[in-house]
């Protein structure tokens, strides 16, 4: 076999080590040529001491030499040494790779930010749980959860605490969930991600309902994100054939419409009463201790020296704007009463009970905890024309007529209209106005709704739960 190689202007040097082989003729063979071609045929020979190669060299087809070159034992030793070093390096690489594979999870946890003690704790968990910590977006401060007795559901503590719960509440909720409901719900077909979704939106009482009624995720999923859904009513939701929101509002909150037949007697808790559209009436309670933030004095006339002119700032600002625009029309509005705390409402309620009796009083005055005045969003209006005796009641005044036509522009609605008494359950109060914001007020005005009808159509934009 011949390989052809073109070489120009180079020194071609062959160096040989003397040997007993008869083929070796010189220690050195040199060719210095500007341009030539070399044909080399390599044949391998072996002896007990050397490896030798036969070179057939032909210059321009004229000169033909046979030369035998040896690779010395020294070179062979160097090659062997390099092979050994390479083998050691490969071995070390294999060991390193093996260690990385064995400790892969610990290394991943370290990169997440977990210290040695935290890694040791995590590694005691199940393989599935460990994978969850590795894949979770950030590290969890395990030490803060270990300051109290817990069952090592650190990831779930962290996720539940995102709802605003403190550490003690989170640990108590999660540990009880795993102790009482987890296995049963897994056997009912709920996977871990679904259960975590439910834990953010579901009470332990709801989990008990799901377990006891054998509800499936397919059954409850359409209702789970609706504020105020009651899981024990899910079978009735499904039977009704109504759309999810309508089913929740019509079945679980039939009492919103005071004219609707009520098959289930319930009371409800409104534990976050700051929402503008809060549906508050008999059966819907805010905490006794609730006091609105940012109460401020409304800068318009007050009918009585002892009259309360405090309202939430957003409602106060809107009322001041309405007062100024009415004044431009020669109409002077005034406040009879605005914010009333729970204890003052209790006094008013007791007085009505004594004066009118129970049957009449409940239609004329709100039960303590169910009063719009406690929200800081409602005001009883009057006018200068009433205060100076021109008119007997506010409902007969030009001021009232102007407010009725324009209140929605400032975010106010007439809360208890005369033609909605059967729905509101409260007698007509032409003086009582409620701040709900301009968007909702405009829709209520244009569609001739009351707040009950608006709520039934739109649902709750705030949390509602059964009062236990």
Identify the domain boundary among 229, 256, 283.
256
Q: Determine, yes or no, domain membership for 282.
A: yes
Tens-digit pLDDT profile for residues 210-261? 999 999 999 999 999 999 999 999 999 999 999 999 999 999 999 999 988 8
Q: Does any domain span residue 135?
A: no
The pair phi, psi for residue 11, each rounded to 5°, is: -90, 120
pLDDT of residue 61: 40
DSSP string, 179-207: HHTHHHHHHTT--HHHHHHHHHH--HHHH
Instruction: Tell me, yes or no, whether 108 lies in a domain.
Output: no
The DSSP element (H or E) to which 269 belongs, if any, is: strand 268-269
Residues 175 and 32 in one domain: no
- 392-402 pLDDT, tens digit each: 999 999 999 99
Strands, DSSP E only, in 283-420?
A: 284-285, 295-297, 310-312, 333-337, 378-383, 412-414
In this predicted structure, what is the pLDDT of residue 444? Answer: 98
User: Are 316 and 450 contained in the same domain?
Assistant: yes
pLDDT tens per residue, range 221-232:
999 999 999 999
Residue 442, judged by CB atoms within 10 A of its CB (0-12, 13-18, 19+), counts as middle
Strand 378-383 vs strand 333-337: parallel, antiparallel, or unpaired? Answer: antiparallel
Which is more confident, 441 or 356? 441
Per-residue pLDDT band at 51 (split at 50, 70, 90): very low
Q: What is the pLDDT of residue 263?
A: 67
**Same domain, yes or no, for 149 and 89?**
no
Residue 306 lies in a domain: yes
Q: Give residue 363's pLDDT.
A: 72
Bridge partners of residue 382, in order along the sequence: 334
For residue 56, pLDDT over 70 is answered with no
The answer, yes or no, to whether residue 410 has pLDDT greater than 70, is: yes
**Residue 137 — very low, low, confident or very high, per pLDDT cuts 50/70/90?**
low
More reliable by pLDDT, 54 or 219: 219
Q: How many whole angstroms separate alpha carbon 265 and alpha carbon 153?
A: 38
- Same domain for 289 and 212? no
Least confident interval from 138-147, 193-202, 294-303: 138-147
Cut 0.75: pTM above it: no
CA distance 40 to 115: 66
Is residue 314 in a domain? yes
In sequence order, what are the residues at sequence separation of 6 or more whose Cβ sits closer than 8 angstroms to the Cβ of residue 46? 52
Q: What is the mean pLDDT of residues 18-38?
A: 39
pLDDT of residue 20: 44
User: The domain containing residue 85 runs over which residues?
Assistant: 76-102
Res. 60: pLDDT tops 50: no
Q: Are 450 and 444 in contact (CB under 8 A)?
A: yes
230 within some domain: yes
Bigger pLDDT: 178 or 9? 178
Which pLDDT score, from 0 to 100, does residue 154 have? 86
264 in a domain, yes or no? no
* pLDDT at residue 19 greater than cutoff 60: no
Same domain, 395 and 280: yes
| N residues, the chain | 468
What pLDDT is attached to residue 74? 63
81: CB partners within 8 A, 6+ apart: none
Strand 378-383 and strand 432-435: the pairing is antiparallel
pLDDT in tens, 331-351: 999 999 999 999 988 888 888
Residue 355: inside a domain:
yes
Residue whose structure tokens are 């020669």: 330
The pLDDT tens digits of the residues spanning 68-98 come to 444 456 677 777 888 888 888 888 888 878 7
- Cβ atoms of residues 271 and 463 within 8 Å: yes
Q: Which of 138-147, 222-231, 445-454 has the lowest mean pLDDT?
A: 138-147
Q: What integer pLDDT is reported at residue 350 of this predicted model? A: 87
Could you tell me if 92 and 154 lie in one domain? Answer: no
46 in helix, strand or coil?
A: strand
Residues 199, 310 within the same domain: no
Domain tally for the chain?
A: 4
Binning the chain into helix, strand and coil, the percentages to the nearest 5 are 45, 15, 35
Q: In what order do the strands lie in the sheet with 284-285?
A: 284-285, 268-269, 465-466
CATH number of the domain where residue 382 is located: 3.30.1380.10
- Catalytic sites, residue numbers: 429
Q: Are residues 432 and 350 in the same domain?
A: yes
Q: Is 371 helix (H, G, I), strand (E, B) or coil?
A: coil
- Co-location of 313 and 410 in the same domain: yes
pLDDT at 318 over 60: yes
Report the pLDDT value the prediction gives residue 67, as an integer from 0 to 100: 40
Q: Are residues 427 and 342 in the same domain?
A: yes
Q: Write down the pLDDT at residue 69.
A: 43
Chain centroid offset of residue 91 CA: 49
Same-domain pairing of 156 and 195: yes
Residues 397 and 385 sit within 8 Å (Cβ to Cβ): yes
> Look-up: residue for tokens 């072996």?
46
| Averaged pLDDT of the chain | 82
Going by pLDDT thresholds of 50, 70 and 90, the confidence category of residue 190 is very high
pLDDT at 104: 73
Is residue 384 domain-shared with residue 454, that is, in the same domain?
yes
Q: In whole angstroms, how far apart are CA 120 and each of 105, 117, 125, 280, 417?
A: 11, 5, 9, 52, 67
Task: State the Cα–Cα distance between residues 7 and 328, nearest whole angstrom.
Answer: 107
The token pair that represents 101 in the structure block: 């594979």
Instruction: Identify the pLDDT of residue 336.
Output: 94
């Amino acid at each position: 076999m011949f390989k052809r190689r073109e070489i120009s202007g180079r020194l071609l040097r062959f160096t040989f080590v003397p040997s007993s082989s008869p083929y070796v003729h010189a220690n050195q063979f040199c060719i210095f040529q500007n341009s030539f071609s070399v044909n080399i045929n390599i044949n391998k020979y072996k002896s007990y001491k050397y490896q030798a190669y036969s070179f057939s060299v032909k210059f321009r087809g004229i000169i033909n030499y046979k030369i035998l070159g040896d690779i010395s034992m020294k070179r062979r030793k160097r090659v062997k040494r390099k092979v050994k070093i390479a083998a050691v390096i490969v071995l070390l690489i294999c060991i390193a790779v093996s260690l990385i594979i064995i400790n892969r999870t610990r290394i991943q946890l370290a990169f997440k930010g977990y210290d040695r003690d935290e890694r040791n704790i995590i590694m005691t968990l199940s393989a599935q749980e460990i994978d969850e910590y590795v894949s979770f977006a950030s590290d969890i401060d395990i030490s803060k959860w270990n300051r109290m007795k817990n069952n090592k559901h650190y990831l779930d503590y962290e996720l539940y605490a995102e709802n605003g719960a403190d550490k003690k509440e989170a640990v108590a909720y999660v540990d009880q969930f795993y102790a009482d409901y987890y296995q049963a719900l897994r056997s009912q077909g709920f996977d871990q991600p679904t259960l975590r979704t439910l834990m953010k939106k579901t009470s332990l009482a709801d989990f008990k309902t799901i377990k006891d009624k054998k509800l499936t995720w397919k059954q409850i999923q359409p209702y789970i994100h609706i504020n105020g859904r009651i899981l024990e009513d899910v079978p009735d939701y499904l039977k009704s054939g109504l759309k999810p929101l309508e089913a929740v509002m019509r079945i679980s909150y039939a009492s919103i419409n005071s004219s609707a037949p009520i098959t289930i007697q319930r009371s409800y808790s409104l534990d976050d009463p700051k929402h503008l559209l809060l549906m508050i009436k008999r059966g819907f309670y805010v905490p006794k201790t609730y006091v609105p933030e940012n109460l401020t004095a409304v800068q318009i006339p007050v009918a009585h020296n002892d009259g309360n002119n405090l309202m939430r700032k957003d409602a106060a600002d809107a009322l001041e704007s309405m007062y100024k625009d009415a004044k431009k029309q020669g109409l002077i509005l005034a406040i009879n009463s605005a914010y009333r705390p729970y204890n003052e409402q209790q006094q008013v309620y007791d007085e009505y009970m004594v004066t009118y009796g129970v049957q009449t009083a409940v239609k004329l005055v709100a039960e303590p905890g169910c009063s719009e005045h406690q929200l800081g969003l409602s005001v009883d209006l009057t006018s200068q024309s009433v205060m100076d005796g021109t008119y007997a009641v506010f409902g007969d005044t030009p001021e009232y007529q102007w407010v009725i036509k324009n209140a929605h522009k400032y975010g106010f609605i007439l809360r208890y209209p005369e033609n909605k008494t059967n729905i509101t359950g409260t007698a007509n109060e032409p003086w009582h106005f409620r701040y709900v914001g301009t968007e909702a007020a405009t829709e209520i005005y244009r569609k001739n709704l009351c707040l009950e009808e608006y709520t039934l159509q739109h649902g709750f934009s705030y949390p509602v739960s059964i009062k236990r």
